[in-house]
């Protein structure tokens, strides 16, 4: 969908919940905070994009540290030529925007908006996701995609749809083959 799309990433702590053997690190108590914030080996990045207006959202668990190639590959099915993505200043977004061939608006650090561009809606979505995850008391990293699909199902459930539309939305698919465009 054409229009303004806000793009940002959030991080979840890697979790090996219910895995008893083969842990890549020593076991630790639940809710132990990460040693570092943001990008580190202890965190799993989730790229989130929200379009303004109809509020279509897309969430992708990135395989490792956010790189321009990963971000461009995650956004390519959703971003159209007339989509205007807004993101915070990070070199990966500038390169990803050039790869996608779209006019990307970067908001400088310390500033919360640049004219009509801001990332407040996507940051609010991050907070809703984390609040929604709280009762689960940590989600295993291997199940993070499924829990994000479950969140999308309930997040978009405000309008009534048939069962097939709910299933497509939960799987982040449109009637075609790819994810819904922003």
Q: Find out whether 109 and 89 touch, Cβ atoms under 8 Å.
A: yes
Give the integer Cα–Cα distance in Å for 148 and 84. 24
pLDDT-derived band of residue 170, with 50, 70 and 90 as boundaries? Answer: low
> CA 63, 179, 4: angle at the middle one, nearest 5?
95
For 107-126, what is the mean pLDDT? 84
Judged against a pLDDT cut of 70, whether residue 130 lies above it is answered with yes
Number of Cβ atoms within 10 Å of the Cβ of 146 = 12
pLDDT above 50 (res 33): yes
Q: Domain limits of the chain? A: 3-17+37-170
- The residue written with tokens 């939305």 in the block is 169
pLDDT tens digit string along 139-167? 888 888 888 888 887 776 555 566 776 67
Instruction: Provide the token pair at 10.
Output: 């959030």
CATH number of 3-17+37-170: 3.30.420.10
86 or 56, which is more confident: 86
Segment 58-84 shows an average pLDDT of 86
Stated as kind and residue range, the H or E segment containing 126 is helix 120-133
Q: pTM of the prediction?
A: 0.77
Average pLDDT of the chain, as a whole number: 79
Q: What does the angle CA 66 – CA 69 – CA 72 come to, to the nearest 5 degrees?
A: 95
Question: Would you report the helix, strand and coil content of the chain in percent, each value rounded to 5?
Answer: 30, 20, 45
């Amino acid at each position: 969908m054409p229009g303004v799309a806000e793009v940002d990433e959030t991080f979840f702590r890697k979790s090996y919940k219910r895995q008893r053997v083969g842990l890549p690190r020593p076991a630790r108590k639940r809710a132990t905070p990460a040693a570092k914030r943001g990008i580190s080996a202890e965190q799993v990045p989730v790229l989130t994009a929200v379009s303004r207006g109809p509020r279509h959202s897309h969430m992708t668990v990135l395989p490792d540290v956010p790189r321009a190639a990963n971000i461009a590959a995650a956004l390519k099915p959703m971003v159209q030529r007339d989509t205007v993505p807004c993101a915070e200043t990070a070199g990966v977004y500038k390169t990803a925007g050039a790869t996608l061939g779209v006019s990307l608006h970067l908001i400088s650090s310390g500033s919360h908006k640049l004219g009509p561009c801001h990332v407040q809606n996507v940051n609010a979505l991050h907070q809703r996701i984390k609040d929604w995850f709280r009762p689960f008391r940590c989600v295993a990293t291997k199940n993070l995609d499924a829990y994000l699909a479950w969140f999308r199902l309930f997040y978009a459930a405000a309008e009534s749809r048939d069962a097939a539309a709910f299933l497509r939305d939960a799987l982040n698919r449109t009637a075609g083959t790819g994810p819904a465009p922003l």
